[in-house]
Amino acid sequence: MSDDYLNKLIELSKRNEAFASVTVVRREEPSSGKAGDKAIVNQQGELFGWIGGGCVKSIVCSEAMDAINTGKPRLVKIGQEGTLIQQDDFKSYKMTCHSEGSVEVFIEPWLQSPHLIVIGKTAIAKALVRLAKAAGYRVTAVAPEAGPQTFEKVDELITQLNLSGVQSSPRSSILIATQGESDETALEMALQKEAGYIGFVASRKKKEAVWKFLKDQFIPDAQLERVSCPAGLDIRAKSPEEVAISILAQIIQVQANAPVSPLKPEQKKEEKQYYINPVCGIPVDIHHPKHILEYQGEKVYFCCDGCKVQFEKEPEKYLPKSIA
């Protein structure tokens, strides 16, 4: 197991970033990837470790990024024999390049831990923190004057009503359980963050008063519609623990339809762009192709010498009729 693989796995895990692990599970000589070889592919399609080069690397990076985006693992076979197969859990690519042998890799996505931001130190807030931690959430607690004993095992404790330093994404969830202590301020701050779910613990009467205040502060209705209030599914909950259960159930329900691993705009600029090699059907990173040809005004990218040679012999065979 290479240092590149281990170091990148530890780094991305600490940063709570999604990635895919790739393991060579079977190999036929003379493929350069050997059984047991491992690599990490991050959200930008960069590979760390070794599973083979050339066509294998391009295919693996493309499939790994798809696994991250869909959350679905898959077995991928790359070799001279067989036909192109595209199923959810199995992909088979037939190479037409000069490389020989074959390799099979298992690609497993490692997704971000769900992130919950709890604002307030009420009984409901404390109960939700306990429940979310038990369910595997990464929890940020925000509560003025909170101490080490206020919450059980939070990952991040912020003792001021300030979310500026809290990182969030569309898969983050925010719960405001201030219950009378700076409710409006907490809601305004929450609405400025990326989040797939924002919940506010309040009665319907309390909601009306808070919403009126926020509208007077020119908070648009479209923003207020992001907030679930009263927070939680209607299960006739009474105790703080029951209310916490109803809220976590609603968060799970909402986030089930959220993007798996969205990239920030600056990350998307760095993301690899793939072109499907018309000869073998293998995705080629357009920034690092083996060859580039121009045919009738169209740039064509190739993964190997063999594909380029075959294309040059019969270009009209491989390009769509709309191009050729």
- Domains of the chain, each with CATH number or no CATH: 3-110 (no CATH), 115-255 (3.40.50.720), 271-318 (no CATH)
Q: How many CB atoms are located within 10 Å of the residue 101 CB?
A: 17
* Contact yes or no for 177/201 (Cβ under 8 A): yes
Contact, 32 vs 52, CB < 8 A? yes
* Residue 1 pLDDT: 61
What is the pLDDT at residue 320? 62
Which pLDDT does position 265 carry in this prediction? 41
Q: How many other CB atoms are found less than 10 A from the CB of residue 76? A: 23
pLDDT at 96: 57
pLDDT at 45: 87
Q: What pLDDT score does 73 carry? A: 95
Amino acid at 27: R
> Of 28, 7, 29, 31, which Cα lies nearest the Cα of 19?
7
User: What was the pLDDT predicted at 273?
Assistant: 72
- Segment-wise mean pLDDT, segments of 10 residues, the chain, 324 residues: 81 86 89 87 90 82 89 89 73 70 91 91 96 94 92 92 89 92 94 94 93 93 94 95 97 79 44 74 77 87 81 83 42
CB 250 within 8 Å of CB 232: yes
What pLDDT does residue 272 have?
A: 57
Instruction: Give the pLDDT confidence score for residue 163 in this predicted structure.
Output: 94
Hey, what are 211's tokens? Answer: 């919403």
Give me the pLDDT at residue 317, please: 85
What is the pLDDT at residue 180?
87
